[in-house]
Chain A
């Protein structure tokens, strides 16, 4: 398989404009500006089948086409570099090693919606990555790829790197926009949607780093080349961040539809130390965990993972071997969501902490018999009832851990101690 996203990774000084340009960088951008109408670009990306890599998998070209053309307000393109999904570190690699690919993709997306101001909202903790982005933007300005009258055309575009302050919720697009506006990082009530009422009330598109980084390749090689990869509905390639009990953790680029089991066992070297696999989260901390028997025939694309009862999400693969206490794992994830809930709407604000406290009780042998069902009930009361998908992100893993490892939870309650680690 030809690498789309990781093609420059590993090249010496890949983060510099000199090296990026030497490998063909910014030539696609020139092609776009000099020879394509915005509508053509949108149609091309639609044809490529590229879908949003932030987690939801929404078709990118379609998202762009929602921006009203007759709206007199300025339009904004925002690159979401606030990667903070637990177990996900694919964007960080691109930000640090191939910032120009992100910038080039951002410029193309901005051109597609005829935005003249674009932002890269980079997660606060990615300090090193932010510096690389800032330098890369500077280089691109100096080279005339960004700024006034790009390539002698009438198209002007400014690109601003904005550092977030480290809230998980700011990865949610409307919270990101609130934060970018200078407000609290609170998701906005929808409708209206960002395509018509986004940043400062103006039409806005928010695209993920990985989505945008694929654009230069698509322009260079054509929509058909991209669409030729992957499955019928999930085209192209996708990055996977693999962590946990696995021999070779790291970021992998796979063609969509790659067999999950083969990936874990062959590409990643399987579970080390002769241990058996106990569970794997396929798409970042907010997605339901899968048992070993559930991944037997799963392929890594949006539809297949969903059919198996989880979601592809951000591609953050977290592997857990047989020594893992699933109660503790569930508690750890619940603790993250309890801490990161923005506190705006009731079910999430109150429910996430309640679940966390109950998981804590079970793990520490203080639970009573009804706590396990109570968590299921709370997670059901959060699901679908919140302003943004954060509520679901907290509720789904909690319910999945209990449903799939119920015996372990019951044992913790019955024996009033952690039955896996044997120490609590």
Chain B
């Protein structure tokens, strides 16, 4: 990379050859307003919002398409630049309905933001706005409002360049230009909802999220998508202790700017249904509520006297939970086989851009922690064959997810001891001798290791209902009963133990994981 020296608003900046002015400015924290420019899409240059002044050039230039050159003097705040920003904003708004009170984008709209920063003038337009299509369904997840659209073509370019599915195009001319589907096309590719994220205005909105909550009420928590083992970085956005939506967080090492539709909406299934809020034990008449003390005592006693035990951990359990689970089973010292739930499926070419074939975001981490045997399928086959007389199933509905549910049900029914630790009364839980009400991905803190071996941090976005216990606390309590006094209080404490005891995680520091994660083997001591 050849260094290039330029000045931005009089300040000297060293950047590198090939960079554009908008990139060089962003590197030093100068945000040049823009709509059509997106770092992952081709340069369109159509919004004209990023016009800036360059020394010795008579005309203003667009910062997104101007490459830096040695000695270039860039002005982003000169009177000419400020004036053209106002002018462009005025042009963008003359045919805009300004229906912010009913627009879902309000609060995160680039028209609103830039208007407040750069314009704040009364409208001079009084000659009749151009009308366009309202609430036009583009696909299962995306709805279009033509009047709010500023024709930046980010959505069109996304479908051309990222998914290469080409559903969208621009039709008509001049101020009747608008975005439309190609005849017969539907915007239903596996990444379709990303167009909502990259739409800077309220033209494309999310059919699942819209009208649910005004965005300024949302609480945002950095976390990891629980959909698959790609481990896309997300922001879990909640309102009144409920998850309202997932938004992708930028992480170039994992998901870039994107999130697949399946992952984006997976929280619905993972959080739906009535929660279990009290432990239950099986008595003559069926499952009856009990206290945590009784339930945990029963589990401990049951495990200690169990025959061969099959332990199945959900792929959504964290590394810390997996570590504790493996430790617990080892401590009790019975014959046991542990596995993490893992099923693969076929993916389409577009899915493969982002999606992994499993639905177990932390299968790799769980195996690293010792929850590993001969593979999940082999273990399930042995369960069906009646090899195990006891099972401890965490966070997965083995019956419902099996290819042959009846065989799994029959095998579990024959068990002399079955513990199910889950958030809901699943078909599997109904067969249990003890049910422990636990937490889902959105309620816990910890780490996932994705398919590529990147350790990333999960954060609690919502508070678990009263009566349930964190999975890690359940394992810690059971370990206590087994006589271990580990003194674990937080996920960080457990991770410190992981870093001490699991060679591949040696020397890793919980706080250093940050919100971008760290690659296994890059965290200091490593496997040595």
Contacts and interface: CB of A to CB of B under 8 A. Distances in A.
A343 interface: yes
Interface in B144-164: 150-151
B72 interface: no
Contact of B172 (A343, A346, A385): A343
A120 to B, nearest CB: 24
Given A189-B44, A346-B46, A349-B151, 12 more contacts: A189-B65, A191-B65, A343-B151, A343-B170, A344-B46, A349-B175, A350-B91, A352-B175, A357-B127, A381-B87, A381-B88, A384-B60
Most B-side CB within 10 Å, residue of A189, A342, A357: A189
Given A345-B47, A387-B45, A357 B91 contact: no
Contacts, number: 92
B59 interface: yes
Contacts of B44: 189
A395 B173 CA distance: 18
Interface of B: 43-49, 51, 59-60, 62, 65, 84, 87-88, 90-92, 94-95, 124-125, 127-128, 130, 150-151, 169-170, 172-177
A346 to B, nearest CB: 5
B198 to A, nearest CB: 18
A353 B60 CA distance: 23
14 contacts: A189-B65, A340-B174, A342-B173, A343-B173, A343-B176, A345-B47, A346-B49, A347-B88, A351-B91, A352-B174, A353-B130, A354-B91, A354-B125, A386-B48
A341 B173 contact: yes
A3 interface: no
Most A-side CB within 10 Å, residue of B43, B127, B130, B170: B127
B175 A347 contact: no
B46 A354 contact: no
Contacts of B170: 184, 343
A341 B175 CA distance: 8
Contacts of A354: 91, 94, 125, 127
A261 interface: no
A398 interface: no
B174 A346 contact: no
B127 A361 contact: yes
A235 B88 CA distance: 40
Given A354-B94, A384-B59, A345 B125 contact: no
A42 interface: no
Most A-side CB within 10 Å, residue of B88, B92, B175, B177: B175
A347 B176 CA distance: 14
A11 interface: no
B35 to A, nearest CB: 8
Contacts of B62: 189
A338 interface: yes
Interface in A311-343: 338-343
Contacts of A358: 127
B404 to A, nearest CB: 53
A63 B43 CA distance: 25
Nearest to B126: A368
A345 B87 contact: no
Contact of B175 (A184, A350, A370, A384): A350
Contact of A350 (B45, B59, B92, B128): B92
B84 A385 contact: yes
A345 B46 contact: yes
Given A340-B174, A354-B94, A385 B127 contact: no
A386 B61 CA distance: 10
Contacts of A346: 46-49, 88, 91-92, 150-151
A167 interface: yes
Nearest to B96: A350
A191 B43 CA distance: 11
A384 B87 CA distance: 12
Contact of A385 (B88, B124, B125, B174): B88
A189 to B, nearest CB: 4
B124 A339 contact: no
Nearest to A381: B87
A127 interface: no
Contacts of B128: 357
6 closest cross-chain pairs (CB), A and B: A343-B177, A189-B45, A381-B87, A350-B91, A341-B174, A357-B127
A42 B99 CA distance: 59
